[in-house]
Structure 1
């Protein structure tokens, strides 16, 4: 006996399984981790919430985006603080 075609499945009411795609916010979180890390943090948290609600894929991408965004934000703040301290220490002296 041959297998039923797609149209036979459709007539009998069998639905094709829906495959959940990757969450767009998760992808953007990873991209923005390298471009503008504070935005990557926000997008990563939004993605995690959407993934929990919808069951989409991309939880690993959102996690990676969050981790990298936090690391780059912290490194950026440390770098800014070092530049600020260096600029203040090279100020003119009245000696």
Structure 2
């Protein structure tokens, strides 16, 4: 059985019966000529990372994701007055 997406202003969509939210405080990215791979996980108490899910998308889809997130941050700031700071990512933070 699928459940409808309840987000406002979104195209009608359905979720599969096995749809679930996953926790995430760790992101691993790999960019190639064919697209971008994103691996999401959680950092464990012993400082290891448990990788939970990986996705691959085209460069165009990744660019749309960036634009959608930035637009969502702008809407959130307009609605709440709270700005979500975007950190500068250095090579060290990427390790």
TM-score by length of 2: 0.30
Higher helix fraction (1 or 2) = 1
Which is higher, the Rg of structure 1 or of structure 2?
1
**Higher RCO structure, 1 or 2 (CA under 8 Å, sep 6+):** 1
TM-score normalized with structure 1 length: 0.30
